[in-house]
Chain A
Amino acid sequence: MVGVGIESDLLHWIPLLPLLVATYHGISIGVLRRPTPPRMAAVLSCAAVLFSFVLACIAFRDLLELPADSRVLVDDVYTWIGAGIGSSALSAEVSFRLDPLSAVMVLIVTFVGSMIHIYSIGYMEDDQRDDKGIQRFFCYLNLFTFSMLVLVLSDNLVLMFLGWEGVGLCSYLLIGFWYSDSWNAYCGSKAFIVNRIGDCGFLIGILLLFGALSEIGHPAISFAGIEEHLEGIVEMTVAVPAWMPFGPEWRLVNVIALCFFLGACGKSAQIPLHVWLPDAMAGPTPVSALIHAATMVTAGVYMVCRLSFLYAAAPEISAVVAWTGAITALVAATIAITQNDIKKVLAYSTMSQLGYMFLAAGCGGYTAAIFHLGTHAFFKALLFLGAGAVILAMHHEQDLQKMGGLWHRLRMTRWVFFAGAYAIVGFPPFSGFFSKDEILIAVWTSNVPGHIWLYGIGMATAGITAFYMVRLWVLTFMGECRAASDVRNHIEDPNGLVLNPLWVLAFFSAVAGIVGLPQVWGDIIGIEESNSLANFLQPVLAAGEPHPIEHSLELWMALWAVAIALAGAGLAWLLYNRKPGVPGWLATQLPGFYRTLLNKYYVDELYDVVIVRPLVAVSDRVLFRIVDARLIDGIGVNGTARGIRAVAANGLKYAQSGLTQSYVFFMIVGAVAVVGYLLR
């Protein structure tokens, strides 16, 4: 990572603007109880995010003017938590850092964010479920944007953690936005708690890192500082009991990297902490697009890339990252095949694509991961917003089995949706093709153990992705309309406020691949340094040590990927469009397999039985009812009281007998004893 950087006062305004508007909304709703008119509130929020985008562009331009290897802008605002002195001094600054990596993220967040904000005006317009719902919605949305921007712009781990938990909070609030339904509220809490498990890992990671760095006398928590002093702790080990796997000594960097990866798993819905994301679809659709597809869930990928120097020093954990990503990609894709809720399909697809990004990052292809993060932000936001448009048109119907035949009814929506689907399937020349290709090549050329297998999983996932996307497409747009007749006659394209952002996103889904055009293609067209994204990011990301790869093989690999996507797409087309009876027949033939997929491999049920129920049972029956009530209170406290009373009743009461002669007797005994003691 590059050194000190140039001061720029601009940076803190990028997150501050949305925060100010969110605060304004909060005060006007809660304190003044005189809410701004819904339209004005919405416009204000959009303006804040758009303006942040403009500022981000200006900052980006400033960044580009710097020489390529020292592109850093910093903005120190104030010391947030400062304590201690000397080698354990902790100084968590509110300090922002714009380098190529965060610049890419900020641009994505503010740009996709503003599109989704604008879309939300149209989408939430008919939401009459709650009074002041619109203001509350935009308040949360802006708060989210603020947190996300802090997350990506922060220059140290503690501030990043602030953004990290902040986006979790907003996710919680927005999933449960329609709180009158208990299910939504339940999903919100579930998301927060599962995320907290990951956050716990993040926090322990910070502790370990800070502890180790202060041991060598450099208590740094800023990314630049950590990278600078990482060498000093690379050799450290942690002693663990010998029976632990890989004991008796673990490399400290590995433990740290694993802890941070646990955090990433929580936020980016990777196995085993993925259970919250599908349920998060209970929130309004723009929220699913913004938080649970384009931005927040990618925070884990961003974190791994931000700490790429750490993961480069911990190759074993990089392999864990890659394998976790690959397995998640495959598992989620298989689940997506059987889901019937349009948003659930997209949710599992998101999980799967995030797995792809982790696969790349774990294989050292950090630029590929970020590239796919960007293209995915465009096409998945587009798909979610398109799905939202479909849901609006279908009068809040999300079941694929009740859709169909929308091709002739939604004449605008179909095109934007098609662009998104085409991009995610990975057909050239749309963006998804290039980013997926780059990931697969990164996997192929990496040194991760079993990378050929990983490549195979990646290819298989690409095929399944094409399959479920075409299934989704066919069930939504092709065939006969299966909606109820009263709905069927009123299916129309949504209004311009909803559609226009979709066109913009569709455009970028199509062309965004150009920024990361692999050199192979550049050579063919005759562009030098065609992969401008990779070249731009290269100074801030750890470089992997890939095997060299022949250009011809690279082209062949692209061809294979397209072929397998075509195969998956063709199969789905065949099964769902040509022979619609076959999928049902297959499901009855393989009931166990089908039900396992439909029930998401029963992971929720497993967690419930293995963790939640025992914990509650132990807490209630053992800790509360036995330890607290019987042991401490029953035996300890009341037992003492009873004991004293018993002593008083059985022994002491005889002492107070009322017989003067016995009192005199005991007095004399006592006096003799005292005198005896004094004369001893």
Chain B
Amino acid sequence: MGEFDQYLLTIITFFPLVTALGLMGTSILASWLGAEGLPAALWKPIALASTILTFLLSLRLFAVFDPLETGFQLVEHVPWIPEYGIHYFVGVDGISLLMVLLTTFLMPVVLLASWNDVSKSLRTYLSFMLSLETGMLGAFVSLNLFQFYVFWEAMLVPMYFIIGIWGGPRRIYAAVKFFLFTMVGSLLMLLAMLVLYYLSFDQTGVLNFDLVAPPGGVAGGLLQTVVPLDGTWWQTQTWLFVAFALAFAIKVPMVPLHTWLPDAHVEAPTAGSVVLAGVLLKMGIYGFLRFAIPLFPSAAVDFTPLIMVLSVIGIIYGSLVAMVQSDIKRLVAYSSIAHLGFVTLGIFALNVHGLNGGVLQMVNHGLSTGALFLLVGMLYERRHTRQITDFGGIARPMPVFAACFGIVTMSSIGLPMLNGFVGEFLILIGVYLAAPIFAIIATFGVVLSAAYMLWMFRRVVFGPVENPENRGLIDLGLREKIVMMAMVIPIIWIGVYPNPLLRRIEPSVIELIRQLETRGRVVGADLEVAPEPGFDSEPGFEPEPGFESESAILDEGEERL
């Protein structure tokens, strides 16, 4: 690994923020000096170039990432407030690698798509978008709980303003709703974090927010904390898990905590919607994967039935409600709830297939729902309406748009050969192995998704052009074509050849399951992904050095508590 790769994660994370500060800084500097600032025509290209560069850097990340390794890679550990165990600690495993890639991929696409969207305080908008990217990336690569919390909250601010300033007519209501919902969850999580922090201090004598032991570090990570849990249900581990899970479930969002999402989506500008659906919602699921499940494995297993029920309700409920929407964007928002129900269902199957599929489906959902929002945005830009009844026969004036819309729709309803199927299929397999009845109910979601998506697609794209305003619609321009190409190519690629991604997800997922098995109190037989006889001999699956001592701490901790 070269000198450069050593700091790769930091560079990727902070490059957008630096650009944003540069954009704002030059103007402030210029007004001090009384000079002409950066010409306005350059702002957008600079922001775009910065995000593209970030994406290229994350491709480099993908290249240097070793898919055979289970632990975190490209780790950087720098003391920040070391007295309190707060460090700047970043690293990626297969799961966060994909999330980083998804984020850095979507950002330039989004900026390009919203090229003409925003005229009001453009520079501020660009700075918010760029700092939002840093916030999201920072949260995905954080291995220090405190640092994660900082980024998690930092993300909220730009998103709040993006909805609140550049949104639709009810933007203030939507922005405040979004903020309050997320805030309530975050505060609970903060409280739980502190409890966990002191628990770990009690057990190790070291103040520490690091999730895992840093390279060469003496102290173990929070993951080795023993969170008390005995027979009764209202135990520390239970309520800590509930606090974390609430924060994440609001973010996902899971039914019945979902009502902020349709409002936020409908009011947000296109770029905001895409980032919200594409990345921000994944933050909730990522939180489950990275924190809630491994930190509180037994409680997570205890809550599995509840979460699965809620996920299945989300799938059916989201689909049914999507079926009766008249606003395209609200329809897509509800379809998002259904899709994310699939993801959480897969994750909480807690076996290889379910987790694999769930993580892959996070990427897929980001691509296909993101692309749907982009397409709706393109329609809105032309007609300033999103009502399904205002359209009809769009295929005639806009054939390329219709073709892209068709492909994305099919990806969203999980047609094989496109990305959605691979994730859904793995999820269904995983869920079936864990809890058959849920898989069978979830399969009906497949029918419903076809029903509402095709209903909308038919009403918008097919039929005669009845509304004279639709007759003169202009088909996609070069910029929009590039945007759609950028979305459609990975949609097809993942559908045809998902293995490069699956290969990177799987070791991390197996590591997570190993955590559950070694640290969980009881793991039900049906949740087990049996370590086969050949398991240990497989490359990369050796237990980590800290493995032995972990069980020692486990015993010790149990004695004390």
Contact residue among A82, A85, A90, A632 (Cβ-Cβ distance under 8 Å from B259):
A632
Query: Which residues does chain B contribute within 8 Å of A618, judged by CB atoms?
Result: 320
- Residue B498 at the A interface, CB < 8 A? yes
* A619-B338 Cα distance, complex, nearest whole Å: 14
Contact A182 B426 (CB under 8 A): no
Contacts of A29 in B (CB 8 A): 399, 403
**What is the distance, in angstroms, from B536's C-beta to the closest C-beta of chain A?**
12
What is the distance, in angstroms, from A139's C-beta to the closest C-beta of chain B? 10
With A182-B464, A616-B323 as given contacts, are A81 and B446 in contact (CB-CB < 8 Å)?
A: no
Q: Which of A88, A169, A181 is most buried by chain B, counting CB atoms within 10 A of its CB?
A: A88
Number of interface residues of B (CB under 8 A): 70
Question: Cβ of A85: which chain B residues have Cβ within 8 Å of it?
Answer: 352, 510, 529, 532, 535, 538
Is the pair B352, A88 in contact by a Cβ cutoff of 8 Å? yes
B454 touches A193 (CB 8 A): yes
- State whether the Cβ of A483 lies closer than 8 Å to any Cβ in chain B: no
User: Could you tell me if A179 and B499 are in contact, using CB atoms closer than 8 angstroms?
Assistant: no
- Set of chain B residues within 8 Å of A185, measured between Cβ atoms: 458, 462-463
A269 CB → nearest B CB, Å:
17
Contacts of B352 in A (CB 8 A): 83-85, 88
User: Which residues of chain B come closer than 8 Å to A179, judged between CB atoms?
Assistant: 393, 395, 461-463
User: Can you list, as one digit per residue, whether each of B237-266 has a CB less than 8 Å from chain A (1) or not (0)?
Assistant: 000000000000000000010111000000
**B193 to A: closest C-beta gap in Å:** 24
Indicate if the CB atoms of A158 and B446 lie closer than 8 Å.
no
In the complex, identify which listed stretch (B47-55, B125-133, B200-208, B414-422) lies at the interface while the others stay far away: B414-422
CB distance from B473 to the nearest CB of A (A): 15
Instruction: Report which of A78, A79, A162, A193 forms a contact with B416, defined as CB distance below 8 A.
Output: A162
Interface string of B304-320 (1 = CB under 8 A from A): 00000000000001001
A199: which B residues are within 8 A, CB to CB?
A: 446
Q: Tell me if A181 and B454 are in contact (CB < 8 A).
A: no
Contact with A along B345-381 (1 / 0, CB 8 A): 0000001110011000000000000000000000000
Interface core residue of B325, B425, B534 (most chain A CB under 10 Å)? B425
Question: B436 on the interface (CB 8 Å rule)?
Answer: yes
Interface string of A182-215 (1 = CB under 8 A from B): 1011101100110011011001100110110010
Bound together, the chains give a CA A181 to CA B390 distance in angstroms of: 17
Query: Contact partner of A628 among B259, B457, B502, CB < 8 A?
Result: B259
- On whether the beta carbons of B425 and A181 are closer than 8 Å, the reply is no
Tell yes or no: A176 within 8 A of B by CB: yes
Alpha-carbon gap, A81 to B529, bound state (A): 18
In Å, the complex CA distance between A88 and B433 comes to 9
Residues of chain A within 8 A of B396, CB atoms compared: 130, 180
**B506 engages A83 (CB within 8 Å):** yes
Within 8 A of B (CB), among A613-633: 615-616, 618-620, 623-624, 627-628, 632-633
Q: Does any Cβ of A come within 8 Å of B84's Cβ?
A: no
Residues of A within 8 A of B485 (CB): 31
Asked if B462 contacts A79 (CB within 8 A), the reply is: no
* Residue B324 CB within 8 A of the other chain: yes
Task: Decide if B554 is an interface residue (CB 8 Å cutoff).
Answer: no
> Contact at B353–A200, with CB atoms within 8 Å?
no
Whether, in the assembled complex, A596 has its beta carbon less than 8 Å from a beta carbon of chain B, the answer is: no
Q: Which of B26-34, B215-223, B289-297, B437-445 contacts A (4 or more CB under 8 A)?
A: B437-445
Please determine whether B440 and A204 come into contact, CB atoms closer than 8 angstroms: yes
Give the nearest-CB partner of B532 in chain A.
Answer: A86
Residues on A with beta carbons closer than 8 Å to the beta carbon of B493: none
Contact A181 B464 (CB under 8 A): yes
Residues of A within 8 A of B426 (CB): 81, 83, 90
Q: Which one of A83, A132, A636 lies within 8 Å of B502 (CB-CB)?
A: A83
Chain A, 56-90, CB within 8 A of any chain B CB: 78-88, 90
Query: Could you tell me the distance between the alpha carbons of A80 and B500 in the complex, rounded to whole angstroms?
Result: 10
**Cα distance, A620 to B399, chains bound together (Å):** 32
Q: Are A81 and B499 in contact (CB under 8 A)?
A: yes
Whole-angstrom distance between the Cβ of A342 and the nearest chain B Cβ: 25
- Please give me the residue from chain B that is nearest to A33 by CB atom: B400
Contact of B432 among A31, A188, A210 (CB under 8 A): A210
Minimum C-beta distance from B324 to chain A (A) = 4
Nearest CB of chain B from residue A173's CB, rounded to whole Å: 8
In the complex, A555 has a CB within 8 A of chain B: no
Q: List 9 A-B contacts (CB under 8 A).
A: A31-B485, A33-B400, A82-B499, A85-B529, A196-B451, A200-B444, A211-B436, A615-B320, A616-B324
Chain B residues at the A interface, C-beta cutoff of 8 Å:
177, 181, 256, 258-260, 317, 320-321, 323-325, 351-353, 356-357, 392-393, 395-396, 399-400, 403, 410, 415-417, 421-422, 425-426, 428-429, 432-433, 436, 439-440, 443-444, 446-447, 450-451, 454-455, 457-458, 461-465, 481, 485, 496-499, 502, 506, 510, 529-532, 534-535, 538
Knowing that A204-B443, A620-B324, A628-B321 touch, tell me 12 more A-B residue pairs with CB under 8 angstroms.
Answer: A84-B506, A90-B429, A181-B463, A182-B464, A184-B462, A200-B447, A203-B425, A210-B429, A615-B323, A616-B324, A619-B323, A623-B317
